[in-house]
Chains A and B, each alone.
Chain A
Amino acid sequence: MNSFCFLFLLLSSFQLWAGPKAAVVKILRGSAQAEISGKIASLKVDDWVEEGATVKTREKSFIKLIFLDKSQMNLGPNSEMKIEKFSKDEAGVIDFVKGKVRSQITKDYLQMETNKSKLFIKTTNAVMGVRGTDFMVTTNGKNTLTVLFEGEVVMNTLNNTKTVSPVKLDEIVDRGVRIMPGEFSVVEQGRSQPTIPSVLNLEQRDALETNVNFESDRAPSSEAKEDTAKSMVPEGLSGESVSNNSEILKTEIEKVSSVEQPKAPSTTDAGGFVSGDVVKPANGSFVHLDSAVVIPPPADSVFDSNTNSFIPSSGNGKVSADGNFVPPKDIEITTEGKVLMTVPVEGGTKVVELPKPAPVVAPAAASLTQVVQIVATNPTLVTSTGTVAINQPPVVTVLPPTTIAPPPSGGLTPIQNVVEKVSGRLDINVTRP
């Protein structure tokens, strides 16, 4: 029986080598398979994968592929991608179905113009044009997240996933957003455009940048933050107000170093905003990698003007050493992007769904930890449908109109109306509702 299996696999593998070669397996952890024309073969180190093949990894598995141009593509656990096109003549096209992929593309690939994409990565709703070197993409089949560590990536929504022409794809990404190193952008299902690129939480970026091989059992880097529950922002002030702009340190650095200090990216709207379909997450937000849900820094986060981003207090969770977002106790975020909370009820616990946090730093917003406390002490907030009716912060602050409403009473003469307005009766109605 074993011999039969071996023979079958050998024959299948042979099929993989029949077409034009695209990449070779350099590292394999766990198990991965390649599928082409309905035939499946398990992959092992030094196997070649040809154009048109779909590569899948299993849970806790990882595969590193080296492409013809020496570019690397690391496919994380539970991931799937199809090499649609990869030739020496034109830009490659990768159809990324689900999971996580880390790409390190060589700078001189195809020796193309610098403003042209060298590789396209498509998901079910987004397309990335790769013009640089080091980035990560995750997708759950509905939402797509791109994090850039080095170089340049442009991203846009993709309506027709069957588009494979690099020329057309280039046209699409040219209209998209340009992500700079240290930034991320999300294409959410149902939104017509990607989020405006924002600075990723510094700790998460560091962890992800070094975790090239999707290792999940890395030792924690620091315990210090865990012990610090209190924010350095006192109640009443904002993180921006208490922030030290670090100009003094910069001046001191200039005295000893001639190295030019690079400017922080995303220089505007650090706190983020939502205006219709246009979303700019707060700088310093965490991202839940499996679902691409953006977790903003809590209201009491201090602002770091050096990087133009917020350094989150512990209220909305933290980052594990492998770069994954770890929500606060009793909160869980599913791959589909649902924010769930375990609520204590009589005789056990109950799982309820929380509204997804708006991706902005909102002064009135409760952090996830505070939400847990609020719901735990107010079980009535849990509705019969299993959701939590808790007020979320206003996404866009709409200031109340400054116009004066008509007087409450009717039937007065206009002169009396005016007297009432001018004499302040109306002021009472306006300012003291």
Chain B
Amino acid sequence: MPRCLLMMLFLFLSFPILAKDDLFKNVTQNYSLGKYRATVDELQKIENTKKLDPKSRGFIAYWKAMAFNRLQDYPSAIEEFNKAISLKYIPQDLHYELGQALFASEKLLDAKVNFSESFKRSFKRGTSLYYMAFISRELGQRENAETLFLDVVRLEDNDALEPRQAAQLQLADMTLEVVELQKDAIRRVEYEVLPIYEKALKINQDSPLAEKIKEKIKEIQKKYNLVLFQLRNGRPTQYPPYFLRAAQEFGLDTNVTFAPQETTIEKARQSSTFSKTEFFGRYTYYYKDFFSYSPEFRFNNTYYFNRVPEIYRNDNLLMAPALRLAHEHALWGSPASFHLDYEFNEARRDVNSRKRLDFSSRSLSLTIGEKFKFFSFGETALRLRERIFESFINISDSRATGLVMEQVVGLAQSTLLIYSSLDFTRVRSKDFDTNSLMIRLDWLLPKYRDFFTPSLSMGLTVTDPINDREARGVETLFNPGLRLSRDIGRNWKLHSRFEHQTNNSKDKNNFAFRKNLIGLELEYLY
């Protein structure tokens, strides 16, 4: 009975904290204005002067602890949070805030327990889990840390984007730590570690952390010589310095055309499926930071499946070695380069329809040019080309001088490439002399729904057969095309293309033609 009376007395004297009144007026105002020291003092005053029930005392302890955390007085915050827990006043964010105070006080095990509790209570799940993983890493619990970081990466919470990216970065750092101790570190850094960093980067390319990741990638590339160096005009060197390509295409040509020389054409008026195999390789060497030379080789073989003489005489084998030299400098404050290209090309064809590849033609080109940035939207290249062409028919030998202009136009989501060339071709048999102008636009579009990358093209060639104008007139060749590309593996791509060609000529029998080309190509890049 006396116990009962005492309890009633206590209840009577206890302050009814949940009733709305102005007892907390000053505290609320101070807290809202960020006056956390005054908040704590006011709360202490209330605690000292009022008799409160446990719940109210718990609330005050929690509030004080929140203010202490913001004052970075972590020991006091921990004490007050623990007081609130002992009084069974545990709001959803208490364990998270307590975990932070413990983390800042280097009490990592206790902090981890509290973040685990916070995660269970679904409060800031991504950050809570990240704290747990980070603490595990700090404590040397490597496997546990990896598992937890992976859990963070897999989270689908809307507010977990930053922890996901940071966790992926941590995983990359941890992998790097291990790989750096291995014998084949360079190879593994390139093929195992860098992709993890790039994965982290892809989570959010625009985040502040993305800048750090980019820096880290550069640092690693530099450390392992994965980037050679930056050229004196700021242009980065080729990475990797080699480029290898192997491609196999199967397609259909609706009107196979035979071109024994550069300025004439013969039509088969028949369609055929074909196979085209290509190998290409190039390596770029650098001399100091301003000069590069790149030997390259191209091999190309085309085979037509329609085995009638008018068609299979087009079977061909092409070998084209080249050497490209570049001198890097600056022009109008931007990187520029002077180019000198030396290209050789030998083609073998079944020119006599004997099911045997014989010498068909060879050409030698020398091109000088300058690539520079004059327009803000993209680089410009101007080139002057001289080409000597030898055919298996002597009268078809020719010499051509060409002026080329290339322009890149960077659009918001896509890129437009403009190519134009003006060629003056003089053939041993003067009847075949031509002047021609070619303009081609290639529009490279962004990836469509992560499925394929389209590109559209349109070409127009105007050919003036200067000594045969009466018979042929000025010819025009329209050449629209569509190409769809899709990544199908780390180094593999699949391309499909559709092209149409219409050549208009006064000499309809010999020079006018129409054809369509469709093809499917599998490509391997290294």
Binds A, one of B93-101, B302-310, B311-319, B429-437: B93-101
Asked if A425 is at the interface (CB within 8 A of a chain B CB), the reply is yes
Question: Are B245's CB and A432's CB within 8 A?
Answer: no
Asked if A350 is at the interface (CB within 8 A of a chain B CB), the reply is no
Asked if B236 is at the interface (CB within 8 A of a chain A CB), the reply is yes
Asked if B273 is at the interface (CB within 8 A of a chain A CB), the reply is no
Asked if A406 is at the interface (CB within 8 A of a chain B CB), the reply is yes
Q: Specify which chain B residues have a CB less than 8 angstroms from the CB of A241 in the assembled complex.
A: 127, 162-163
Q: How far is the CB of B488 from chain A (nearest CB, A)?
A: 12
Q: Specify which chain A residues have a CB less than 8 angstroms from the CB of B211 in the assembled complex.
A: 363-364, 394, 397
Could you give, for residues 273-284 of chain B, a 1 whenever the CB lies within 8 Å of some chain A CB and a 0 otherwise?
000000000101
Given contacts A182-B33, A206-B35, A306-B31, whether A228 and B127 have CB atoms under 8 Å apart is no
- Chain A interface main SS type: loop
Asked if B92 is at the interface (CB within 8 A of a chain A CB), the reply is yes
Asked if A72 is at the interface (CB within 8 A of a chain B CB), the reply is no
Question: Are A228's CB and B20's CB within 8 A?
Answer: no
State which residues 437-473 of B face A: CB under 8 Å.
Answer: 440, 442, 444, 453, 455, 457, 459
Q: How far is the CB of A140 from chain B (nearest CB, A)?
A: 28
Partner of A242, one of B127, B215, B378, B379: B127
Question: Are A230's CB and B104's CB within 8 A?
Answer: yes
- Bound-state Cα–Cα, A401 to B375, Å: 14
Question: Are B32's CB and A406's CB within 8 A?
Answer: no
* Chain B interface size, under 10 / 10 to 19 / 20 to 34 / 35 or more: 35 or more
- Bound-state Cα–Cα, A249 to B71, Å: 16
- Bound-state Cα–Cα, A237 to B132, Å: 13
Question: Are A424's CB and B367's CB within 8 A?
Answer: no
Kindly report which residue of chain B lies nearest to residue A251, judged by CB atoms.
B91
Could you give, for residues 108-136 of chain B, a 1 whenever the CB lies within 8 Å of some chain A CB and a 0 otherwise?
00000000000000001001001100100
Partner of A406, one of B35, B247, B371: B371
State which residues 157-192 of B face A: CB under 8 Å.
Answer: 162-163, 166-167, 169-170
Q: Specify which chain B residues have a CB less than 8 angstroms from the CB of A237 in the assembled complex.
A: 127, 130, 162-163, 166
Q: Specify which chain B residues have a CB less than 8 angstroms from the CB of A410 in the assembled complex.
A: 324, 326, 339, 341, 367, 369, 371, 381, 383
Q: Specify which chain B residues have a CB less than 8 angstroms from the CB of A167 in the assembled complex.
A: none
Question: Are A261's CB and B32's CB within 8 A?
Answer: yes
Question: Are A236's CB and B170's CB within 8 A?
Answer: yes
Asked if A68 is at the interface (CB within 8 A of a chain B CB), the reply is no
Given contacts A253-B31, A311-B72, whether A424 and B209 have CB atoms under 8 Å apart is no
Interface residues of B (CB under 8 A from A): 17-25, 27-29, 31-38, 59, 62-63, 66, 69-76, 91-93, 96-97, 100-101, 103-106, 124, 127, 130-131, 134, 162-163, 166-167, 169-170, 198, 206, 208-209, 211-212, 215, 218, 221, 227, 236, 238-240, 243, 245, 247, 282, 284, 294, 296, 322, 324, 326, 339, 341, 343, 365, 367, 369, 371, 377-379, 381, 383, 385, 406, 408, 410-411, 413, 415, 417, 419, 440, 442, 444, 453, 455, 457, 459, 483, 485, 487, 493, 495, 523, 525
Q: Can you name 11 extra interface pairs (CB under 8 A) apart from A182-B34, A244-B93, A249-B63?
A: A202-B35, A235-B134, A236-B167, A237-B166, A257-B21, A259-B25, A364-B212, A411-B367, A417-B417, A421-B417, A422-B453
A-B contact pairs, 6 of them (CB 8 A): A224-B75, A232-B100, A238-B162, A244-B124, A306-B32, A403-B415
Interface residues of A (CB under 8 A from B): 181-182, 199, 202-203, 205-206, 221-222, 224-225, 228, 230-232, 234-238, 241-242, 244, 246, 248-249, 252-253, 255-259, 261-262, 264, 302, 304, 306-307, 309, 311, 362-364, 394, 397, 399, 401-406, 408-411, 414, 417-418, 421-425, 428-429, 431-433
